[in-house]
Structure 1
Amino acid sequence: MSLPLHQRTFVFDLLPTEILQNIFDYLWTHDILYSFYNISTSVNNIISSYKYYHVNFQSILKRDFDHICRCIQPDQIISLILSDNNDTPYQSHLYLSLFPINQFIHLRALTLIDIDNNSQSLFDNLCEIKSLVSFEIDTMSHLRYIGSQLKRLVVNKYIEDDYIHESFLSSLSFSHIRSLILPYCSYHQLRQILSDALKLTSLTISLLISDCTGIDYFAEQRQEMSLALTHLNLSIQTFTRAISRLLFERFLARMPHLEKLKLNVSSGGSMNLLDGDQWEIFILNHLPSLRIFNFKFKIINIDQNKENILAHFRTPFWLQKNRCWYVSFNADDSILYTVPYFAPRIIKYPSYTILSHATTLPIDQHRILYDNVIELELGSDCKPSYRYRHVQKLTLLIPNIDKSVIDVSRIEYLCIRTTASWSLKNLFRMIKQSMPCVYHLNIDCDLSWTKILDIVPLEQIRILDLSQFFFSEKKSKQIDLPFLFPNIERLITKINTYDQMIYLIDQLKYLSHASFHIINCQTDLNEPERMHQWLLKMSHRLSTNNNFTFKLDSQSWIHFWIVGDRKPVIKVCSNTQSTDVQLQRIEKSDIIQCGHSGHCLLQ
């Protein structure tokens, strides 16, 4: 018989509280609760009193979300990620109904992902949180929430409607901004940013220049004093005049403090960008602090011997030991790029061999370019010349794998896109014998599900994507999905009856995220309220635990976020009584319906 929690002695109990708190600083909240919760009373007390939690709700399991809600109060959170994506529908509304945004009095960093329009009013008081210094959002429309105290701002996407919201960017005060990431801005806005953001040290920005005047306007920012920038990541695309090295020189000359520089010209690069000797002169004279320089230049109208291009980058300046700025040239696409930074990480149908004259990398380091690849697609015409050792995502369009070409033991995501010679039994055998790390399986074809007698369940799979598999009524009687994949937490599939959906929800006991594409299903359940009542009536699981959200979209998809089975946990965190009452109220009330660890906090 195990001892009661208060009588257990554990090695962490002998450590100073500060040691555990220092460990917590590097972990997400759900990792802390999963790894340390209920180890001992002493550790639980440290968890309940810790005040610097980083909460990441993106793609989180519903049971882990509920656990955090019970144990962690908003004044203990310094960074928060909320997501209303398809795998966590209406999460922000659910969470902020428990904890209004003005209760996060120590919040320093907030990230909003795919926030539903109906939830946006919940952030109206965000500007009252004076501690907030980092804000990461999807689109510019969210800029209206913030005040003038920000030190870090990230906008991840650019959508067509964003030009309507450019006024939010123009009205924003940049006086405190130190780090700024924008997916797009005009050269007029860039001039405003560089004029007003006097404390800006890190800038990531993309420019689309559609007229000749814009190129000159971009380069002549007319700052009288040098800028404080130490990190610059600049992407430019133009469809008019070619972008030259001289343009960059005029622009960069006012940035003598640069330590890290990344330039990406995705179209319209001039020939003089290939002149390594002139780059060397400019860097030595104007960028004395530059330690890291990565670039990718798409060149137009090359009029010289392509094999001699790299001669400019084989000088001691580029190859000296403390710098090692190696480059490669893709003659087929006329692209000059630094390696390994811009070396391909995703490759389809590999068949090329690295040629010595195409890179300045020493021959004994050529493997770096292959080891850089983490995603690979293999087709019938592939002729790999090297063994890929670090692939994490593999897509197969062929009926077998040559293990001399790829180390399959590291693969985490496997996609099958061919039915040739594949059966479910062969697939299971291959994964069990050779791919211990695979947890995400995507069967992107109508794979043969016959001859599955004596098959051993594939217990390691947590994510199953059958988006191209039509789960017809006939097949559903032949295929016992809960038996084949007993530990599924996330499922994507097609169905043609709602009964199949109810069956999978009820039988896959660990299921937390589910997306069902409804094919040719005539029904009167298109209204959320009616669907909700029908789900409670037909599903034993959902009627037993009414703690779920779902979303109907216009493309005949229905997305669920539900509580998967797990052994019950004992609540020991302090000050959680009111939260538990609120959570129970959510579980018993009508459901809400539809109509990475790396912490970045600026000091």
Structure 2
Amino acid sequence: MSTESRVHFQLLPVELLHKIFDCLKAETIVFSMRRVCKQLYSSANACNRYELDFRYISKSDLPLLAHIIDPNAIISLILSKTETERSIRSLLKHFRTDFTKLQSLTLFYLYDRDLKVIQKRIIKYPLKTFSIFNDLCYIRKTEAYISNILLHKDLRKIEVKLDFNSIDIIDWPISCGLEHVIIDNCSSTTVYVILNRSPNLGTLVISDNYFENSKETITNDKQFNSVISLSLAIGENIAMENIRLLLSCLPCLAHLRLISKTLGRSYHSKGYSIEEISILVLW
């Protein structure tokens, strides 16, 4: 390759460098890329879309990382209960200001005291994406925190995985701007509440045990034209009539995915035809 045709990495436009940074961990950008040359140093300092995953940031690196990165340049946070006694409060205290530009927040198995800190320092700012994975052995008021987050007018995507029946306790606002919902362990009644109160909903994913209770009676005469993608995880005791009713309410549905932990032949033994149900077998 001739000298004239060579392109040096540090000579790339800053916008392209930031696109490359999007594929790297924050620690790699700050502790490696930033130290290569003046151009990358300046590009790293100008980056305004850092994503921090506290699950993999060491205790020794955190103070320096928090000193270098402006909290206003952080758009995504992943927080988790750690094996040590470090609380979320002790992690966040290293940052000099709140995360006012935060767009995405993911929480794994946190305690009640941690969610109180998060509600004070993070949740008060507009989020576009929120995910929480918790169970009742860690926190007793998860549903109340989620209900509060659902009031955010900018929230567009939410993923909630809780203990069985916990999702049914969540207070879904009368009208919210959600476009993408991923939930599990919920009743069909809750699904219709979500559909009725999410006029912009385009994608709905129920990832576990939907329509297991065939005794649950569902009545609905409304159609939800905004939903174009539906994924359901169903069990052997599926109530087929409820499936039919749900599908009849989604006239614009373009993508349907039914997932079963049971082999498809078990459904034939119950009298369901191929035309009635298409199963994507995962196990």
TM-score if structure 2 supplies the norm length? 0.79
Q: Using a 3 Å threshold, how does the CA distance of structure 1 residues 255 and 48 change in structure 2: closer, same or farther?
A: same
Matches within 5 A, 1:378-397: none
Measure the CA separation in 1 of the matches of 2:259 and 2:123. 35
Measure the CA separation in 2 of the matches of 1:114 and 1:186. 23
User: In the alignment, which residue of structure 1 is the partner of 2:16?
Assistant: 19
Structure 1 runs not aligned, ≥5 long: 1-9, 283-293, 297-336, 345-603
User: In the alignment, which residue of structure 2 is the partner of 1:233?
Assistant: 231
Secondary structure of 1:175 counterpart? coil
Measure the CA separation in 1 of the matches of 2:220 and 2:234. 16
Measure the CA separation in 2 of the matches of 1:253 and 1:261. 13
Instruction: Please state how far the C-alpha of 1:159 moved relative to its aligned partner.
Output: 2.1
1:72 to 69, 76, 79: 69
Structure 2 runs not aligned, ≥5 long: 1-6, 135-141
Measure the CA separation in 1 of the matches of 2:50 and 2:212. 45
Q: What whole-Å deviation, never above 9, does each CA across 1:23-73 have from its counterpart, x for those lacking one?
A: 122333123234412001221111111111111122333334344212212
User: In the alignment, which residue of structure 1 is the partner of 2:137?
Assistant: none
Q: What whole-Å deviation, never above 9, does each CA across 1:299-339 have from its counterpart, x for those lacking one?
A: xxxxxxxxxxxxxxxxxxxxxxxxxxxxxxxxxxxxxx3xx
Secondary structure of 2:258 counterpart? strand
Is the 2:147–2:172 contact (alpha carbons within 8 Å) kept by the matching residues of 1?
no
Q: What whole-Å deviation, never above 9, does each CA across 1:374-400 have from its counterpart, x for those lacking one?
A: xxxxxxxxxxxxxxxxxxxxxxxxxxx
Measure the CA separation in 2 of the matches of 1:17 and 1:95. 30
User: In the alignment, which residue of structure 1 is the partner of 2:163?
Assistant: 159
Is the 1:148–1:172 contact (alpha carbons within 8 Å) kept by the matching residues of 2?
no
Instruction: Please state how far the C-alpha of 1:114 moved relative to its aligned partner.
Output: 1.8
Q: Does 1:49 align with 2:52?
A: no
Instruction: Please state how far the C-alpha of 1:178 moved relative to its aligned partner.
Output: 0.6
Measure the CA separation in 1 of the matches of 2:174 and 2:106. 19
Q: Does 1:129 align with 2:133?
A: no
Q: What whole-Å deviation, never above 9, does each CA across 1:105-154 have from its counterpart, x for those lacking one?
A: 11000011122333222123344202x11111123434155233211111
Instruction: Please state how far the C-alpha of 1:207 moved relative to its aligned partner.
Output: 4.2
Q: What whole-Å deviation, never above 9, does each CA across 1:276-320 have from its counterpart, x for those lacking one?
A: 3x25xx9xxxxxxxxxxx724xxxxxxxxxxxxxxxxxxxxxxxx
Instruction: Please state how far the C-alpha of 1:227 moved relative to its aligned partner.
Output: 2.9
Q: What whole-Å deviation, never above 9, does each CA across 1:413-469 have from its counterpart, x for those lacking one?
A: xxxxxxxxxxxxxxxxxxxxxxxxxxxxxxxxxxxxxxxxxxxxxxxxxxxxxxxxx
Q: How high is the sequence identity, in percent, across the aligned residues?
A: 21
Matches within 5 A, 1:251-270: 251-266=246-261, 269=267
Instruction: Please state how far the C-alpha of 1:104 moved relative to its aligned partner.
Output: 0.9
Is the 1:202–1:231 contact (alpha carbons within 8 Å) kept by the matching residues of 2?
yes
For CA contacts below 8 A with separation 6 or more, give which structure has more relative contact order.
1
User: In the alignment, which residue of structure 1 is the partner of 2:192?
Assistant: 191
Q: Using a 3 Å threshold, how does the CA distance of structure 1 residues 189 and 274 change in structure 2: closer, same or farther?
A: closer
Count of aligned pairs:
262
User: In the alignment, which residue of structure 2 is the partner of 1:369?
Assistant: none
Secondary structure of 2:89 counterpart? helix
Could you tell me which amino acid in structure 1 is paired with residue 229 of structure 2?
A: H
Q: Using a 3 Å threshold, how does the CA distance of structure 1 residues 91 and 30 change in structure 2: closer, same or farther?
A: farther
TM-score if structure 1 supplies the norm length? 0.39
Is the 1:235–1:264 contact (alpha carbons within 8 Å) kept by the matching residues of 2?
yes
User: In the alignment, which residue of structure 2 is the partner of 1:213?
Assistant: 215
Measure the CA separation in 2 of the matches of 1:230 and 1:15. 40
What is the Cα-based RMSD across aligned positions, in Å? 3.0
Q: What whole-Å deviation, never above 9, does each CA across 1:189-221 have from its counterpart, x for those lacking one?
A: 11111111111111111345565331x51xx43
Instruction: Please state how far the C-alpha of 1:76 moved relative to its aligned partner.
Output: 0.4
